[in-house]
Chain A
Amino acid sequence: MAFAPINKNYHDFFVVRDKDACINCQVCVRQCSYGVHFWDEARQCVRHDNTKCIGCHRCEALCPTQALLIQEKPSNFKANALWRPVFIKNIYKQADTGGVLLSGMGSPADIPVYWDNLLLDASQVTNPSIDPLREPMELRTFLGSKPTRLEFEETPEGPRVKTKLKPNIALNFPIMFSAMSFGSINFNLHIAMARAASELGTYYNTGEGGLHQSLYKYGKNTIVQVASGRFGVHRDYLNAGAAIEIKIGQGAKPGIGGHLPGEKINAKVSETRMVPIGSDAISPAPHHDIYSIEDLHQLIYALKEASEYKVPVSVKIAAVHNVAAIASGVVRAGADIVAIDGMRGGTGAAPAMIRDNVGIPIELALASVDQRLRDEGIRNNASIVAAGGTRCSADVVKAIALGADAVYIGTAALLAVGCTLCARCYTGKCPWGIATNDPYLAKRQNPDIAAKKMANLMKAWAHEIEEMLGGMGLNSIESLRGNRDKLRAVGLNQIELDTLGVKAAGR
């Protein structure tokens, strides 16, 4: 191709434009933030440059005459089981740029999805199933430390609980919106998550970018996060939410920090993060004050002191090889909630090599953590929240049966507002107005519509969870928690079955 580097032609997508249907309205031109579509003055019609297409499907979705089709470029390299096209193209890219390969969202790598190998039970004949439309069904979930035993005392008004209970947060559904910082996603979606969580009676997590003053009113349904960069952390912030979360790691990029590029730091982000406008916001890989479980203990208690022991403190860790031992340490350090983020969890930006090769799937991590805490007799000291790759309500049910108290959804919430997983969040040019702070693009997320969609998704899942519970003859989510007898596995080896603590189907 003349005037262009050779590798430009190894692009991933191409645009098919039905010329009979195209009305040259230029909606595609205005919607594409990557400059694929353009008005050709010489030919007086809309044309496109395939090399720029990243496959977000925004143009296809908004084309009024369905004239557009975005396809994967069918051109193939010679088949090679080792050198798959993704590796070949990556090498071309890196040979051109000398840079680290960046990516966004969760890993698309072909790693077993254990949810798909797990099947749920249902009642037949010997135990009755329950119809959730006619009988009460309890999805209410409490997160936080539970006492080992309860003591009661007699009072003139009747028996009273004598044991001092630790602070818990109450969720109407065992699902929360995962930590996505203001900055990585824009303000419109933060308002939307806050409103949806408030309407539903569940929680959203601020992520590591602080909480804008105008969102303090949703504090009752907010979990405020403290990460290694300590962005936006101050006394009022710590007391603004219903729980505090210390972020140690993220499933998409265990062991490394974060980098919000300066271009995404506008006035509002700057004010919230407490960093100058336009400066890069870099979260260090470790917390520089945490080099041991004892140090973590100090931070947990520093935060509990700062919030006067009124709110539970959560610690979020990435699912890595020794996750069970680490979680045990975290609980012993005083965490009231342990959030485990599996390797398929999303991100606004991560080196592709880390995202696709570091960590372990959440299903295995969750099962081993739950088992370890039970074996050690400390499971009641903390709730477990599973994150990273929850795609549907059945995944939620399976996670709870494997031992989770609740799940975090991040990617699913973004999909609800239009995300198509093009995985270019790190460019800040998200055509769906999600992972961008460009005011022209961010407007594409109308907070009213986004809040409604997020709430709808959660309600739909809650209905489905009720149906699945009822089918199993359970009328409360509590009865499913850690109840692995409600799960059977297909196509797994004995070690996987043992780790998951699940019997093979038929057994």
Chain B
Amino acid sequence: MKKIYPNKEVCIGCHLCEVACVTAHSKTKDHILAHNVEKAQEGLAPRRNVAQEGAVCVALSCRHCQEPMCVAACISGALTKNTETGRCEYNEEQCVGCWSCLMACPFGSIRRHPFKEKIVKCDMCAGRDTPACVEACPNAGLVFEDRGSD
């Protein structure tokens, strides 16, 4: 299955992936409204985060693990592994905000919602052919491809 792979050798730390992520998960799907209105009102936050130290940067997010620790840790059944699509799916309705998944994720890819008792996690842009972050990356620092099982 296809997954999003970051490449730190060519990630330029522009954070356009984060910008695209916010817009893709907004109601309006409009850069300006998503960032200038929805971010403040709805607590819209990027599911991908660029980590940087010195000249090295890389855009990190959920790796949609084969055996996801977050799913194992989830007490309410909000996180599930879809074996067909390979995605680690999240159902916000069911989430009780216990943060077990935050503690369990070895990659720090799950974050708290800015003001709801919920989490924010990459859904690999369900409904899009190519995830927004990959499409927005100007330098192929994120690629969406099938590398077999890993």
Using a CB–CB distance below 8 Å, which chain A residues touch chain B?
A: 20-21, 23-27, 30-31, 62, 64-65, 433, 438-440, 443-444, 446, 448-449
Q: CB distance A446 to B10 under 8 Å?
A: yes
CB–CB B19/A64 < 8 A? yes
Which of A30, A65, A439, A448 is B14 in contact with, Cβ under 8 Å?
A: A30
Interchain CB contact under 8 A, A443 and B55: yes
B55 touches A444 (CB 8 A): no
- In the complex where A24-B35, A65-B32 touch, is A439 in contact with B55 (Cβ < 8 A)? yes
Asked if B55 contacts A25 (CB within 8 A), the reply is no
Contacting B19 at CB < 8 Å: which of A20, A25, A440, A448?
A25
Name B139's contact: one of A26, A27, A438, A443 (CB within 8 Å).
Answer: A443
3 closest Cβ contacts across the A-B interface?
Answer: A23-B35, A440-B55, A439-B55
List 6 A–B pairs whose Cβ atoms lie within 8 Å, in order of A's numbering.
A21-B32, A31-B14, A65-B32, A438-B55, A440-B54, A443-B11
Cβ-defined contact, A64 with B20, below 8 A:
yes
Give B27-78 interface residues, CB cut-off 8 Å to A.
Answer: 31-32, 34-36, 54-55
User: Which residues on B sit within 8 Å (CB–CB) of A448?
Assistant: 140
**Quick one: which of B133-150 are within 8 Å of A by CB?**
136, 138-141
Chain B nearest Cβ from A429, distance in angstroms: 14
Chain B's interface size range is: 20 to 34
The answer on a CB contact under 8 Å between A23 and B15 is: no
Quick check: B32 and A440 within 8 Å, CB to CB?
A: no
Q: Which of A62, A433, A438, A443 contacts B16 (CB 8 A)?
A: A62
- Give A21 to B35 CA distance when docked, in angstroms: 10
Q: Check B12 for interface membership: any CB of A closer than 8 A.
A: yes
The reply on B84 being an interface residue by CB < 8 A is no
Once A62-B138, A443-B10, A444-B139 are accepted as A-B contacts, the answer to whether A23 and B31 lie under 8 Å apart by CB is yes
Residue of A nearest to B8 (CB): A443
Contact assessment for B139 and A65 in the assembled complex, using a CB-CB cutoff below 8 Å? no
| Bound: A443/B140 CA distance, A | 11
In the complex, chain A residues whose CB is within 8 Å of the CB of B36: 23
CA distance A439 to B138 in the complex (A): 17
Across the interface, do A65 and B31 meet the contact criterion of CB distance under 8 Å?
yes
* Contact of A30 with B15 at beta-carbon distance under 8 Å, contacts A440-B55, A443-B10 already known: yes
Q: A20-B32, A25-B35 are in contact. Are A449 and B139 (CB under 8 A)?
A: yes
Q: Which residues of B contact A444 (CB under 8 A)?
A: 12, 139
* Least distance between B57 CB and chain A CB atoms (Å): 8
A31–B14 alpha-carbon span in the complex (Å):
7
B111 to chain A, nearest CB (A): 18
Are A27 and B35 in touch, CB under 8 angstroms? no
Check if B6 is an interface residue, CB within 8 A of chain A: no
Cβ of B97: which chain A residues have Cβ within 8 Å of it? Answer: none
CB distance A27 to B19 under 8 Å?
A: yes
Contacts of B15 in A (CB 8 A): 25-27, 30
Q: In whole angstroms, how far apart are the Cα atoms of A449 and B54 in the complex? A: 24
Cα-based distance from A27 to B20 in the complex (angstroms)? 12
| In the complex, chain B residues whose CB is within 8 Å of the CB of A62 | 14, 16, 138
Other contacts beyond A23-B32, A25-B35, A64-B19: 9, CB < 8 A: A25-B15, A30-B13, A64-B16, A64-B20, A433-B12, A439-B55, A440-B13, A444-B12, A446-B141
Q: What is the distance, in angstroms, from B125's C-beta to the closest C-beta of chain A? A: 16
> Please, which residues of chain A bring their CB within 8 A of the CB of B129?
none
Closest A-chain residue to B30, C-beta based?
A65
